[in-house]
């Protein structure tokens, strides 16, 4: 067995994209996975225990990447999954013809695998207008969860 057979292309810490949590522990404004999509909880209504003894949590949430409203009902004592959501600040260096964005963080690391957001509508054009072909300094917030990364907000630096 030679060393070349064990070439590892990339490695991560093995951290999961989601964590388990009891449905009754999730709060308004928190995150939950509904139908495989990471969502932000808008409201929770808890029904009384029925004859089988489980209170049910009715979650109304919005997909953090598409903005679609989703609902889910889970017994409060049962487990559900919560996405691990990270937000990072980046500065826009370049915007390509097809909407691919080149970003740089404070440490000088570059990121080129992100496109302008398609949701909400018009935000991509607002970012282009604010950036004005590199004349203005624009920083943006990138939200990442379950392997998806997307620009969720931006601001033009003075």
**pTM for the structure as a whole:** 0.78
For 118, the enclosing helix (H) or strand (E) is: none
How much of the chain, in percent, has pLDDT values that exceed 70? 89
What is residue 14's three-state secondary structure? coil
What is residue 96's three-state secondary structure? coil
What pLDDT shows up at residue 12?
Answer: 55
CB count in 10 Å sphere of residue 23: 23
What pLDDT shows up at residue 3?
Answer: 54
Rounded CA-CA distance 127/125 in Å is 5
Least confident of 104-113, 125-134, 140-149: 125-134
């Amino acid at each position: 067995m030679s060393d070349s057979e064990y070439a590892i292309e990339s490695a991560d810490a093995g951290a999961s994209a989601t964590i388990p949590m009891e449905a009754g522990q999730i709060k308004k404004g928190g995150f939950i996975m509904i139908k495989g999509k990471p969502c932000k909880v808008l409201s929770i209504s808890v029904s009384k225990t029925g004859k089988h003894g489980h209170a049910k949590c009715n979650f109304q949430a919005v997909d953090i990447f598409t903005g679609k409203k989703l609902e889910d009902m889970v017994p409060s004592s049962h487990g559900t999954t919560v996405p691990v959501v990270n937000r990072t600040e980046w500065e826009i260096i370049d915007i390509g013809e097809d909407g691919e964005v080149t970003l740089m963080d404070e440490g000088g690391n570059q990121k080129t695998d992100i496109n302008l957001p398609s949701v909400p509508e018009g935000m991509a054009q607002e970012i282009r207008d604010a950036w004005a072909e590199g004349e203005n300094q624009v920083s943006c917030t990138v939200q990442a969860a379950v392997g998806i990364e997307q620009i969720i907000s931006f601001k033009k630096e003075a």
